[in-house]
Structure 1
Amino acid sequence: MVSVITVNYHGTDSTITCLNAARELDYPPERLELVCVDNESSAESAERLGALDGVKLLTSAENLGFAGGCNLGARAASGDVLAFLNNDAVPGAQWLRAAVAVLRAEPTVGAVAGKVLDWQGSRIDFVDGGLTWFGMGYKRHAGELDDGSHDGARDVLFGTGSSLFVRAEVFEALSGFDERFFMFYEDVDLGWRLNLRGWRVRYEPRSVAYHRHHESMATVGSAREHYLLERNALAALYKNASERTLARALPAALALTVRRSTARGEVDPRQLELDRRPDDPREDEAPATIDRQALAGVLAIDQFVESLPEFKRARETEQRLRVRSDADLVPLMRRAMEPAYPLPRYLAAHEALVDAFELEDVFGGSRRIAVITGDAITERMAGPAIRAWHTAEVLSVEHEVRLISVNAEVTAPDAGFAVLRASPRELPSHVDWADVVVAQGHVLEMMPELKRRDSGTIVVCDIYDPMHLELLEQGRDTDEQRREADLRGTTEVLNAQLRRGDFFLCASQRQRHFWLGHLAALGRITPPVYDSDPTMRSMISVVPFGLPSSPPSRTGPGIRGERPGIGADDKVVLWAGGVYSWFDPLTLLHAVHRLSERHPELRLFFLGMRHPNPDVPEMGMAERTRELSEHLGLTDKHVFFNETWVPYGRRQNHLLDADCGVTTHFEHVETTFAFRTRMLDYLWAGLPVVTTDGDSFADLVRDEQLGVVVPAEDPEALAEALERVLYDEAFIARCRERIAEVRQRFTWEAVLEPLREFCRDPRPAPDRLPGSAPLTKTPRPSRSAALRRDVDLLRDYLERGGVREVTRRAAGRIRRIAGQRLGGRRLNGRETG
């Protein structure tokens, strides 16, 4: 159902022509409603417009302006879509159908901007909108010939009010047009707010209307027009710009308004200088003649100041509800630094103000991104901290980034970005600063406000670590009651992220399928989400662990010659990560024991036994590994334990001393969805890999021929694999050749590309957009039809189970209705009935 709304103001002949043309639209008549608002209505206009068949006429004794008239029409309209059409315009036959098709096909589009041509259909009135840094919106390409070069659909900042389609519920959520604008920029302001709240405005060239440009302004005059433009531009800037942008742009915009007016009015800017005093002082007291063009800007500033109390409240609302940054909208502004007026004195002032207030930096498109981890950030970092560090490093090339840890251990090395420690109490200030938050682990639990789905902050959840699956193995060392409680708690932590996040990162395609199942179970794969992107890649992307783009270079001693018992000619097998409960180092020890009988020069080196994060306790597997090594007589002969964690910046020295890398694990669910992060260090150092089958890394090793994959818990097969990667020179050479090629795909710059792409245009998930109700709804059955349905159900329930079945079903319906009402209250934060 579409309501076409037009506003009449002393232009009844044009309005009748417009409404008659709207009747001829190629659209089902029963789904079309025509609404006409007659501003400053007269008996004659009301009579003529009221005589039109099928038109809902609303009269106003006063002139409400375009914005007020449209809002009045919208309140009386019953359509799911509101189609605003100037009374001095007529729609083409496909005007409405083409726009509605876009709204139905693209759930994240909140409004459609139609193509508007002049009355003859030859020249452009609107095909794109631009916005200057000082708040002035303008129609790009206006007046040019319509040569077909603007026939491609695209996102725009705003559409012209002369031909604009808005979802009715979205229009209501934004409180419609801001009536304080009265005339000019109410459409710019609406589009600006739509975009800030996460909705797209889509230009659709197939939706064509023809417009007698500015017919309603014929009697206004250029000075009044400039006054309205100047005042409303300042108001739009003040309402919608962020604190950071406003602090720079508003002072410059006020100064530029004055200069623009004095340049237009050709006012002598130095006439009051002391060296210009007249010989007769009385001449200074005489009235000065000021051109109205010069007066327009001064009065515009005066009235802008007068309206500040009202606009301050509006600003607070928009800043509270926005979900996108100013930087996100810079591409839609098209040419933000455009001076707009070709006046020499004005252009000089524009250049000076842009330079003095450094406005190029403000409108350069960079964003503020907070990467938050719960892991220790020190020279000895574990996987989560390493991932957070490189995420911050890659994003800092384009954006202003803070890497924040809530861990007590933060002694970061030098970085090209801010590295900070914050207590949970201090996190909200960093969230308020950021346009995008990238969170991992339990971090979201420390920020209750950020967990709320109506929070305006864009949240990226890094769920590369399926913590609940790890806990199934890790928790074996605890009592059953605690194990179950820990698992429930960790699962809920992850579910909270999955319910809230706008974008998710996982480590492999296997994980992606796993998390898609989670999202589906939680109801996040909704029709709007699916229709926006059936691949779901815009919601969840694969971002595996990465490795440096430059090859490792030795900076000091590593294993050989430093660790007693390991000589220069020994064969070194490296275990590069920690020893956790989901790993199987025990089978590896048995394999080394067997192989050492044939190769006494074999050495197995565990790179780090104690986790660098003091909050992570040592797991039982570490102690079992030490005990078995002692029992087999391997410790300090063929097996060596490095108890402390190797500093991240010096790990390459140990890697370069190894001959192969190894990781072994058990066959269970954790293995299926795990991504062994330290395995990539083996590729970085060019080490052939021996790994247990079952995880995604094993698939990579097998498919790319990077080493040998062995069955779980098979010491004989593992010993044979180690022997091959240590002594088969031809096989080793082939592995190294393949590794050199594959590792380029895993540089941090390469793997983080999906996140970089998202941060260039971050948006809330489609199901988090306020007002995202279905555009078309199932009609409610009539009372008689509902009664017949209930009678049929009653008969069916009696046949199935008698009165007991009827009672059970009735109780279920009561619970369901109560749950829906409670959910509505929780969603809206108020009673919904």
Structure 2
Amino acid sequence: MVEPNLPVVPSPVVSLPVVSVIVVNYRGADDTITCLRAVRDELDYPADKLEVLCVDNASGDDSARRIREAVPEVRLIESATNTGFAGGCNLAAAEASGQVLAFLNNDARPDRGWVRSAVEVLRAEPTVGAVASKVLDWDGKRIDFVDGGLTWFGMGYKRHAGELDDGSHDAARDVLFGTGSALFVRAELFTALEGFDERFFMFYEDVDLGWRLNLRGWRVRYEPRSLTFHRHHASMAEVSSSREHYLLERNALAALYKNVSDETLARALPAAMALVVRRATARGEIDPTQLEITRRGETEDDAPVPVDRSALAGMLAIDQFVELLPSLKVSREQEQRARVRTDTDLLPLMRKAMEPAYPLPRYLAAHDALVEAFELDEVFGRPRKIVVITGDAVSERMAGPAIRAWHMAEVLAAEHSVRLVSVNARVDPPESDFEVVAAKPRELAEHVEWADVVVLQGHVLEMVPALKRVDSTKIVVCDVYDPMHLELLEQGRDTDDERRAKDLAGVTDVLNAQLERGDFFLCASERQRHFWLGHLASLGRLTPGLYDSDPTVRSLLSVVPFGLPSAAPRRTAPAIKGTRPGISADDKVVLWAGGVYSWFDPLTLLRAVDRLAQRRSDVRLFFLGMKHPNPDVPEMGMAGQTRALAQRLGLTDKFVFFNETWVPYQERQNFLLDADCGVTTHFEHVETTFAFRTRVLDYLWSGLPVITTDGDSFADLVRAEGIGVVVPPEDPDALADALEKVLYDAEFAAECRRRIEPVRERFTWESVLAPLTAFCRDPRPAADRLSASAPLVRTAQPGRVESVRRDLALLREYLDAGGPAEVAKRATGRLRRLAGERLRGR
């Protein structure tokens, strides 16, 4: 292969991002100077990519002077007032120039790889918005932070704090929040979230930030290689325990109020406030019965009552929480609008939401009483709500789309609260452990609003316009197992060209809308997956960020074929042999298990049966269903052609039999168990290449050897696994020979059945739906649908020398291509482009 003669252009220079390290000082100059020198001298990160900022939070002593003299290269920002840790960090962040912000406590020192390890995570995983460092004590022996937990009443805590670091926490994992003492955040994202909440002053501002990141679909990733060492609470030396209790209680209520859903808030907030009071009285050992009317006379009613400051802290915390409510209400409305994940989604990251946290007997009793009274176990243990929406009829007689939707609902219902909704006029379902609902298109919005995750197929997205809006935050799974536009190429052959082109354009638009909106996609085979990857790429969904996060792209598009029941089929009634007139108990039955559609080729099958019948008088072909169970699906021309050819060949009701209705789904096993082999034949065209013949799985379920035309994914399976015979398209002689081999070669048929058993296990509904069940356990927006998701590292602009070299290379190319005239034309075009860019930049 000859390489094209392309101009030599210098490769772009890709660099590490600038990291702005932010340290806040308040009357701790000694610790701060030690910390800043370590950042300056000990990090394994390019010095020209590090920006170090220190905020002196109105210390009122000589801290600023000492820091400036000790580390003059550090940018020192002097705050006029003490705005707390949150305010100090925000002040520096507003002036930082880095693409990554690194927050480090002034009483901490970083390990050599602290920055580089965190940056590697941010570059490799674009859905990670923040990196939580591993934090050990100053000696590196005991744990300060390796994981975060959150109680139902809003208090965050460091899990495993104080334990020996034995290496058991050296695996990276997603967490709800990282500790502000060592935390990396994408700068653009930090700005979009308006930084730390300064109303917190200190404590839980990091919990609140992580909570908000997760609610907006971003991940907070604990990375143990990003290591720091912390003099625990050295920065808290001047804060009394009662003031600490006050801040913790107030800020926990504020974080809870801002971040939980309306449903959760209605139950959790009253209980949380009551629990603050009980914590206060228990901590201060206050007699809670001293004002009972029955105790009159024991003391003077107007006598002062001493209240411990630790008890007062809780009561004042509630008072000041109420004071903050007007501004918190504005923040709450903002967070609730921006959230894309539910409280249920975050439950695994809370770790142990029902943890009481304080070992005080009276407090523990109150905790249990409040949990029971407000039914908080239901709120913080409620299953995720998933709606599966289909446009097909859901009844005893179901076709492929409804069968697929039914089993999705059935499998997901084992872990979640599931509602199966059909917009078809015919909804008369079998018994189930999940809710099945009929809905008109205009009623779908109600079901979508109810759900945490929406799983849809067909034209459903067009019926819920709100889901298509750019600002829609609902998690959407699109089941594109059916390439409808390819089907329509065949199905529309019977219509006029203008109508056919219009219908095809409409269906393509429907599919493109799904591909542009979905957070997760399901297809039926690897062939289909390659096809849909091309679609997604053409629509711009395969972004560098998505690819860097998951080079396989299976986090966006996964294979979920049709499945089959895990239990073997059991006969419940006679069906074909000895029951249908013209078919005896000893006849050999060939079963066509699905419908007769335009993309199938039953005509070649009829000709093959005609040939075989001339030498085998006991062969019988049985079509399981001619009339589609969905009344909205008209009979296709191929069905009429099939009946006509069978009649013309003299096969009808002698060698070929038609079941004109549709077999109930729960009774199909009786027909399968009466058959000797299953068959599917089709033409050679694009639809075949990417089709997935769903009813062929029923052949595997019942152990039937399969005869299929070559060209689709099932032909690959049959050939690779040795479970039947693959024949060329439109070859009645080869097909007749294949039928004879499967029906009359007992040894071959037995070997096929033996080989089917392990294949069948791979296709149980529980197995094939594993990608969907995994996604629904931790549903998130697709990486390219996250807000504030610009690339972390931008391509460096070429320097002056590189620019000259590039222009000279282009000049030589243009001269070779067309001489001076070509150079003049190109130069004019470039000038126009530059002028346009300047105008757009205004």
Place the TM-score, normalised by the shorter chain, in its bin: over 0.9
The answer to whether the 8 A contact 2:453-2:779 is kept is yes
The answer to whether the 8 A contact 2:132-2:221 is kept is yes
User: SS of 1:634's equivalent?
Assistant: coil
Residue 188 of structure 1 deviates from its aligned partner by: 0.5
What is the alpha-carbon root mean square deviation over aligned residues?
A: 2.6
Residue 173 of structure 1 deviates from its aligned partner by: 1.8
The answer to whether the 8 A contact 1:368-1:400 is kept is yes
Unaligned runs of 5+ in 1: 823-831
Give the direction of change, closer, same or farther, for the CA distance of 1:808–1:391 in structure 2 (3 Å limit).
farther
Aligned equivalent of 2:467: 450
Q: Does 1:492 align with 2:509?
A: yes
Give the direction of change, closer, same or farther, for the CA distance of 1:271–1:675 in structure 2 (3 Å limit).
same
Q: Does 1:217 align with 2:217?
A: no
Aligned equivalent of 1:119: 138
Q: Which letter maps to 1:709? A: V
User: SS of 2:448's equivalent?
Assistant: helix
Aligned equivalent of 1:289: 306
Q: Does 1:71 align with 2:90?
A: yes
Distance 2:634 2:201 in 1: 65
Aligned equivalent of 1:20: 37
Give the direction of change, closer, same or farther, for the CA distance of 1:481–1:813 in structure 2 (3 Å limit).
farther
Aligned equivalent of 2:11: none
Q: Does 1:371 align with 2:399?
A: no
User: SS of 2:410's equivalent?
Assistant: helix
Which deviates the most, 339-348 or 493-502? 493-502
- 1:144 pairs with one of 163, 168, 177: 163
User: SS of 2:394's equivalent?
Assistant: coil
User: SS of 1:164's equivalent?
Assistant: strand
Q: Which letter maps to 1:750? A: S
User: SS of 1:578's equivalent?
Assistant: coil
TM-score by length of 1: 0.93
Aligned equivalent of 1:33: 51
Distance 2:126 2:298 in 1: 72
- 2:27 pairs with one of 10, 14, 23: 10
Deviations 1:232-290 (A, max 9, x none): 1111112112233323322221221111111101111222223222267xx22333222
Deviations 1:399-422 (A, max 9, x none): 111111122222222211111122
Give the direction of change, closer, same or farther, for the CA distance of 1:818–1:682 in structure 2 (3 Å limit).
farther
The answer to whether the 8 A contact 1:3-1:35 is kept is yes
Give the direction of change, closer, same or farther, for the CA distance of 1:790–1:806 in structure 2 (3 Å limit).
same
1:381-392 residue pairs with structure 2 within 5 A?
381-392=398-409
Q: Does 1:245 align with 2:264?
A: yes
The answer to whether the 8 A contact 1:797-1:806 is kept is no
- 1:256 pairs with one of 262, 275, 285: 275
Which deviates the most, 594-603 or 682-691? 594-603
User: SS of 1:476's equivalent?
Assistant: helix
User: SS of 1:116's equivalent?
Assistant: strand
Aligned equivalent of 2:559: 542
The answer to whether the 8 A contact 2:27-2:61 is kept is no
Give the direction of change, closer, same or farther, for the CA distance of 1:41–1:545 in structure 2 (3 Å limit).
same
User: SS of 1:4's equivalent?
Assistant: strand
Give the direction of change, closer, same or farther, for the CA distance of 1:331–1:716 in structure 2 (3 Å limit).
same
Q: Does 1:430 align with 2:430?
A: no
Distance 2:136 2:418 in 1: 45
Aligned equivalent of 1:515: 532
Distance 1:820 1:757 in 2: 48
User: SS of 1:307's equivalent?
Assistant: helix
Q: Which letter maps to 2:410? A: E
Give the direction of change, closer, same or farther, for the CA distance of 1:743–1:121 in structure 2 (3 Å limit).
closer
Aligned equivalent of 1:208: 227
User: Which has the bigger relative contact order, CA under 8 A and spacing at least 6?
Assistant: 2
Residue 696 of structure 1 deviates from its aligned partner by: 1.1
Aligned equivalent of 2:254: 235
Residue 819 of structure 1 deviates from its aligned partner by: 11
Aligned equivalent of 2:622: 605
Distance 2:113 2:26 in 1: 26
Q: Does 1:618 align with 2:625?
A: no
Distance 1:500 1:818 in 2: 32
Q: Does 1:188 align with 2:211?
A: no
Aligned equivalent of 1:552: 569
1:790-801 residue pairs with structure 2 within 5 A?
797=814, 800-801=817-818
- 1:506 pairs with one of 509, 517, 523: 523
Residue 697 of structure 1 deviates from its aligned partner by: 0.9
The answer to whether the 8 A contact 2:595-2:627 is kept is yes
Q: Which letter maps to 1:550? A: A
Which deviates the most, 516-525 or 2-11? 516-525
Distance 2:517 2:525 in 1: 21
Aligned equivalent of 2:718: 701
Q: Does 1:159 align with 2:146?
A: no
Aligned equivalent of 1:358: 375
Give the direction of change, closer, same or farther, for the CA distance of 1:432–1:161 in structure 2 (3 Å limit).
same
Aligned equivalent of 1:743: 760
Distance 2:825 2:658 in 1: 67
Distance 1:686 1:657 in 2: 11
- 1:198 pairs with one of 203, 217, 220: 217
TM-score by length of 2: 0.92
Distance 1:455 1:100 in 2: 31
The answer to whether the 8 A contact 1:67-1:177 is kept is yes
Q: How many residues align?
A: 822
Aligned equivalent of 2:4: none
Give the direction of change, closer, same or farther, for the CA distance of 1:817–1:379 in structure 2 (3 Å limit).
farther
User: SS of 1:577's equivalent?
Assistant: coil
Give the direction of change, closer, same or farther, for the CA distance of 1:719–1:817 in structure 2 (3 Å limit).
farther
The answer to whether the 8 A contact 2:705-2:742 is kept is yes
- 1:93 pairs with one of 112, 117, 128: 112
Aligned sequence identity (%): 73
User: SS of 2:795's equivalent?
Assistant: coil
Distance 2:836 2:409 in 1: 46
Distance 1:820 1:705 in 2: 65
The answer to whether the 8 A contact 1:2-1:81 is kept is yes
Aligned equivalent of 1:418: 435
Give the direction of change, closer, same or farther, for the CA distance of 1:133–1:485 in structure 2 (3 Å limit).
same
Distance 1:614 1:236 in 2: 53
- 1:643 pairs with one of 660, 679, 687: 660
Distance 2:439 2:821 in 1: 61
Distance 2:86 2:525 in 1: 51
Aligned equivalent of 2:9: none
1:637-676 residue pairs with structure 2 within 5 A?
637-676=654-693
Q: Does 1:303 align with 2:320?
A: yes
The answer to whether the 8 A contact 1:330-1:365 is kept is no
Residue 795 of structure 1 deviates from its aligned partner by: 7.5
Aligned equivalent of 1:825: none
Aligned equivalent of 1:393: 410
Distance 1:342 1:413 in 2: 51
Give the direction of change, closer, same or farther, for the CA distance of 1:552–1:271 in structure 2 (3 Å limit).
same
Deviations 1:333-365 (A, max 9, x none): 222221111101111111222233333333337
Deviations 1:648-675 (A, max 9, x none): 1222222222222111101111111111
Which deviates the most, 220-229 or 528-537? 528-537
Aligned equivalent of 2:5: none
Q: Which letter maps to 1:487? A: L
Aligned equivalent of 1:333: 350
Distance 1:628 1:761 in 2: 53
The answer to whether the 8 A contact 1:132-1:336 is kept is yes
User: SS of 1:180's equivalent?
Assistant: helix
Give the direction of change, closer, same or farther, for the CA distance of 1:689–1:810 in structure 2 (3 Å limit).
farther
Give the direction of change, closer, same or farther, for the CA distance of 1:272–1:410 in structure 2 (3 Å limit).
same
Distance 1:718 1:66 in 2: 78
1:518-537 residue pairs with structure 2 within 5 A?
518-537=535-554
Give the direction of change, closer, same or farther, for the CA distance of 1:584–1:806 in structure 2 (3 Å limit).
farther
Residue 808 of structure 1 deviates from its aligned partner by: 7.8
1:713-728 residue pairs with structure 2 within 5 A?
713-728=730-745
Distance 1:336 1:522 in 2: 41
The answer to whether the 8 A contact 1:454-1:768 is kept is no
The answer to whether the 8 A contact 1:71-1:177 is kept is yes
The answer to whether the 8 A contact 1:83-1:163 is kept is yes
